Amino acid sequence: MSNTVLKALACALALGITSAIQAADPIIIKFSHVVAEHTPKGQGALLFKKLAEERLPGKVRVEVYPNSSLFGDGKEMEALLLGDVQLIAPSLAKFEQYTKQLQLFDLPFLFNDIQAVDRFQRSPEGQALLKSMESKGITGLGYWHNGMKQLSANKPLRTPRDARGLKFRVQASAVLEEQFKAVRANPRKMAFAEVYQGLQTGVVNGAENPWSNIYSQKMHEVQKYITESNHGILDYMLITNTRFWNGLPPDVRSELDKIVEEVTREVNTQADALNQGDKQRIIEAKTSEIIELTPEQRNAWREAMKPVWRKFEAEIGPDLIKAADAANQPR
C-alpha cells in the first residue's frame, strides 16, 4: 500500500473515531430560572433533570441553574433564542415582547382560583397559546403553576385607597403596571433578583407574589403586612428553542416530551400545597401580619382594578378573555 493510501486510511479512521465520540456525547440541556429550588418551578426543573438523566442515560445531561445564577430576567429569553440555554420557564407576565395574547394571564381578578387557571390552560384555547410564538422560534411545552398572588407592603392594605402613592415592584408587564396605576399606586418594573433588596432599602414599598416566592426570597422579613388578596396569578410557560427541540433525535425527543408531560402534572399537583406550606411558615415566622379581606373589601379591589381589562381587550382578543372567564365555571 502506498504511503498516500495509508495516510488517507489513517485519516478516515481518525475521523470515524471522532464522529463516534461525538455521537456518544450527551446532549446538554441547560435549564435556567430565577427562583429558589424549593418552589414549584425549582422543584420542576430538578425533577426534569432526574427523569431525563435516568431514562436517557448517556444521551442527555441536564444542568439546572436556579436563582438567576446563569441568566436573570431580561436576559433569559434572549439566551434561549441564541441557544445559550435550552429550557426556561418565565412567568406568563414576561412574554409581552413576543406575544400580546399572554397578557391575558395578568388581568386582575380574571381567575377565581388555581383550578380555574388549570381548566383554561388545558382548554383548546389555552393549549393553542403554547404554539403562539413558534414563528419567533419559541415553543411552549407546558404550563407550570406557581399560584395566586398576594399583596405585601409596609403598611396594611385593606382597601384600594391604602395603596395610594405606594411604590410597588412589578414584573415586566404593561398590564401589571396599569393594575397598580388603577389604585393610584406607582408601579416600578424590577428584575426578580433585585426585589428583596428593593424592598429592604425602600426603593419600593410593596410587591405582589405567591406565597412560595415571598417565603423563598425572605420577602416576609422586609414586609410588615401581607394581604391575602388572591387578586391574580403567577404561572409559567415552560419553553424551549423551537429549532433545538425539533432537531433532537426522534427517540430522545419523544422521551423528553413524555417526561415534560409527567413533570408538568407533578408540578401542577404539588404547587398549591407548596404555597400553602410556605404561607404557614410565614405565619410561624411572625415577621408579617397576614391580613384577610372581607368579601366587601376584596370586592372593592376587584372594582378598582377590573377596568384594566378594557385597556388590553383589543390586544389580547375578547374571545380569549371570554374563554378564560368561562373556565371559572367548573365543568
Residues of this chain that bind ligand LMR (CB under 6 A): 34-35, 41, 91, 146, 171, 192, 209, 213, 234
- The strand pairing partners of 62, in sequence order, are 29
Return the number of the residue (102 or 248) whose C-beta is nearest ligand LMR.
102
Task: Give dist(CA 218, CA 196) in Å, integer.
Answer: 7
Cβ atoms of 117 and 106 within 8 Å: the answer is no
Residue 191: φ, ψ to 5°: -65, 150
- The strand pairing partners of 233, in sequence order, are 148
Return the number of the residue (36 or 252) whose C-beta is nearest ligand LMR.
36
Q: How far is the CB of 249 from ligand LMR (least distance, A)?
A: 31
Q: What is the DSSP string of 56-82?
A: STTTEEEEEE-TTSS--TTTHHHHHHH
Q: What is the DSSP string of 251-296?
A: HHHHHHHHHHHHHHHHHHHHHHHHHHHHHHHHHHHTSSEEEEPPHH
Return the number of the residue (248 or 282) whose C-beta is nearest ligand LMR.
282
Query: What is residue 171's DSSP assignment?
Result: -
Task: Give dist(CA 119, CA 324) in Å, integer.
Answer: 9
Q: Per the structure block, which three cell numbers stand in for 59?
A: 444521551
Q: Which residue is nearest to ligand LMR (CB)?
A: 91
Q: How far is the CB of 119 from ligand LMR (least distance, A)?
A: 22
Q: Looking up cell 419567533, which residue turns up?
A: 136
Q: How far is the CB of 175 from ligand LMR (least distance, A)?
A: 13
Q: How far is the CB of 12 from ligand LMR (least distance, A)?
A: 50
Q: How far is the CB of 142 from ligand LMR (least distance, A)?
A: 15
Q: How far is the CB of 34 from ligand LMR (least distance, A)?
A: 5
Cβ atoms of 111 and 328 within 8 Å: the answer is yes
